[in-house]
Every structure is written in C-alpha cells, then in structure tokens.
Amino acid sequence: MVEIRLDAGKFLQYRQRAVAQRAATIGAWEKLLNIIGKMAVITNAFIISVTSDTINKIVYNWSNTDQNNFVEDSISFYETKCFPGDHSYDINGVNVTECGYYGYRNQTIPGNCSSYEYTTEYYTLLITRFVFVLSKCLFKDEIVFYIQN
C-alpha cells in the first residue's frame, strides 16, 4: 500500500503536463500541413478525373446538344468469336455475336481480333482529364466553374 502511494506521488510530481505557452505560428507543422493539403488536392483531382463520368459528359456536350445518347456513344463492341475457345453464346435462344463494354475502341479491320484501337474520343478524354488535374493543381476551383458554364 505504501508503494502505491509513493508511485502516485512520483507521478503527480514528475509527470505533470507542460505549461502552455503562446506561439506566433505552429512552427514546423505549418510546412508539413501545406504539403499534405497540396497532395490532397492532387489526389482528389486525380480520383475525380479517373472515376467520375462528369468529365466524359462535359466532353460529350462539346459536340452534342443533349445527353440522350451518351451511354450508347461510350459503349464499344467486341466480337464474341474472338474470345478464346470454341464457344457459341446463346441468350434465350438468340446467338450473340457482339459483346458491349464501356470503353472507346473500334475494330479497325473487320474480322481481325487484334485490330481494336482507341478512338479519338478516348484521346480527347485523356487529354481533358490531364488538363483537369493540372488545372486543379494550379488554379484550385476557378477552372471547373468556367468549363461547366
């Protein structure tokens, strides 16, 4: 029992919280927080540009007046005969010869399974995404409102 009281006395005497002092800045943490903030802006801009359809819709609106055919325009088709193996694909008794997927590719040589190449829309979207990330890094929020209006 005496040992516990002695340990309690030591903790109270030698383990006290430091007295707070006023400071003009947060010191070395300010530079670190600025770096973390800039990295957060770049990371968020990259995530938005890669995962969101917003940029795709903005680019689609540059050449089209409405959004009615946006989904159809962003789908590419792949011939099922190009899948490995000798399989026929029937869905409810209908022979399926094409498979649609989200992407911007076209078959350049009909019947050639290795002739799928990116379309010009793909490269336009890629450049627009890069410009979006770059603009978010340089200009923060000003450029987004300019593009949408």
- How many whole angstroms separate alpha carbon 97 and alpha carbon 83? 11
pLDDT tens across the length of the chain (149 residues): 788 888 888 877 777 777 888 888 888 888 888 888 888 888 888 888 888 888 888 888 888 887 788 888 888 888 877 777 767 777 888 888 888 888 888 877 777 777 788 888 889 989 999 888 888 777 765 554 555 54
Write the DSSP assignment of 46-105 as a string of letters. HHHHHH-SHHHHHHHHHH-S-STTHHHHTEEEEEGGGSSSS---EETTEE--EEEEES-E
Query: Which pLDDT score, from 0 to 100, does residue 107 have?
Result: 75
The residues spanned by each domain of the chain are: 27-148
**pLDDT at 104 (0 to 100):** 86
Encoding tokens for residue 114? 């290795």
Question: Is there a contact between 68 and 47 (Cβ–Cβ < 8 Å)?
Answer: no
